[in-house]
Chain A
Amino acid sequence: MDPYAALIQPFVEFGFMRRALVACLALSLGCGPVGVLLVLRRMSLVGDALSHAVLPGAAIGFMIAGLSLVVMSVGGFLAGLAVAVLSGLVARVTPQREDASFAAFYLISLAFGVLIVSTRGSNVDLMHVLFGTILAVDDASLLLVVSIATLTMMVMAVIGRGLIVECFDPGFLRAVGGPGAILHLAFLVLVVMNLVAGFHALGTLMAVGMMMLPAAAARFWAGQVAPLAATSSAIAFAAGYGGLLLSYHASLPSGPAIILVAGGAYIVSVSAGPRGSLLTRFLPRRHLEA
């Protein structure tokens, strides 16, 4: 197979592949910076928790209106946001630690989700909520994913400085009277929004992979926050492209294929990235003069 047929032709030939690629591009632009901030805040697992928390909302939306994109998205968004806000509130006003608080609420939410999904039997459409349908992204879904990515980048540009300070030195932000709680909430809204965008394409179980794997890989390539976010987006898009090709040529489900390619990128980064990878650790270069 020549490179053109392997790498480009599927996208030229099939509209659904092009749509899927555009969806991946939008997802990576939104998820890149959000994931990096989650990692920097030591909240990597919170992304995971929230992605599960989205499930009952999407399932209830499905029960109300069938496979309606808007209703399922709104439901998922509300459920995720409820878990995020309740967990954050409990962590702020009681001595409960944030991670424990998130674990408690997302488990409750997840149990509801599983309950709803299982009472509905083996409904094929509902399986889409769990496993996504990136190869069947329609105009409306594409518009939603692209809008969320655009909104995310705009919000990041506006409150990025605040988010970085809130993460780096929350005590200072409090002391200068900065709106720490509002920034934190805005950030959680962004996380949930991007997970909702992801679940259309990849399913609730895989959505968080597009957010965390590239972000975790990026720290082996870049140092400061902006380059980290750019690297993370680039890795996410590359994983989307590679995953789509993999699923096309090998007839594999697209969601797991994309996340597995991202996982491959993570392992390559840990092994051979230029900053602190295993390679730099075991093949150290000569030290400098000063």
Chain B
Amino acid sequence: MGDGVAAMTAVFSLNDVTLGYDRHPAVHHLTGSFLAGSLTAVVGPNGSGKSTLLKGLIGLLSPLDGRLERNGLRQRDIAYLPQQAEIDRSFPISVMETVLLGHWRTIGLFRPVTRALRRQAEEALVAVGLDGFGRRPIVSLSAGQFQRVLFARMLLQDCPVILLDEPFTAIDAKTTADLLAVVTRWYGERRTVIAALHDLDQVRENFPDTLLISREPIAWGSTAEVLRAEHLFQARQMAEAWDDRAEICRRSVV
């Protein structure tokens, strides 16, 4: 990478990081960094460790091995959209109230929601194409509309770092395009965005950087460089192996 890039700070620095469950690695020996203000797609087949990596970055999962540094980032500086949110979609709460939760950093448990905060929430709803939906209960939304609500909430969170785990799965083209515009806007505001994705055309069109993993890192760099045929072939070859009797990994010892 060039000199200009070297001067930029890393938001996450990973040094030989292994993440996994019950000592079984799901992301094996990953080294590199996500730079401040970068827009990176994490790409790989199902079970390749994309979600695991994002959980590691936000701190829901501690590394089994290696060092993962957040470089002064606090938990509340990171907005995270999980692949399977634990959200109770039948909960009796309105769209507006859900979006207002994005102000948590300001309102916390006790402080009141001011009119200015409410107006920001309304603007966020307009930005994701849900103008006038504020009073609707969330049960009444389609999957795509609900994803728009979650994006509006992230708009209010106003975090310098945003992690998205397959945000456009099971969502139609129009919604995807609208929400991709929001992602592009974040990138323009110099926020760091990392998104797990699997639509390669979408990645080529919208994401400058890509990390291709298949349990092991395969390539990390500019999207055009990473998404070459031989890398993609390599990614498909890697087995989705879970071996109950796997030996202890020696690579970190040597």
Contacts and interface: CB of A to CB of B under 8 A. Distances in A.
B85 interface: yes
A275 to B, nearest CB: 10
A189 interface: no
Given A168-B88, A171-B87, A177-B75, 8 more contacts: A161-B107, A167-B88, A168-B93, A169-B85, A172-B101, A174-B60, A175-B79, A176-B104
A278 interface: no
Contact of A228 (B80, B82, B92, B110): B92
A161 B108 CA distance: 9
B206 interface: no
A174 B108 CA distance: 13
In the complex, the 7 A-B pairs of residues with the closest C-beta atoms, listed nearest first: A171-B86, A168-B91, A176-B104, A177-B75, A162-B109, A169-B87, A175-B80
Interface string A223-245: 11100100000000000000000
Contacts of B86: 169-171
Interface residues of B, number: 27
B109 A224 contact: no
Interface of A: 40, 158-159, 161-162, 164-165, 167-172, 174-179, 223-225, 228
Nearest to A160: B109
A223 B137 contact: yes
B88 A224 contact: no
B109 A175 contact: no
Contacts of B80: 175
Given A172-B101, A175-B58, A178-B104, A224 B85 contact: no
A178 B109 contact: yes
B92 A169 contact: no
Interface of B: 58, 60, 74-76, 78-80, 82, 85-88, 91-94, 98, 101, 104-105, 107-110, 137, 157
A176 B85 contact: no
Given A169-B86, A171-B86, A40 B92 contact: yes
Contacts of A164: 93
A167 B157 CA distance: 20
Q: Looking at A167, A176, A225, which has the most chain B CB atoms within 10 Å of its CB?
A: A176
Contacts of B78: 175
Nearest to B107: A161
B75 A223 contact: no
B93 to A, nearest CB: 6
Contact of B76 (A177, A223, A224): A177
Contacts of B88: 40, 167-169
A268 B157 CA distance: 44
B101 A165 contact: yes
Contacts of A224: 92-94, 137
B109 A161 contact: yes
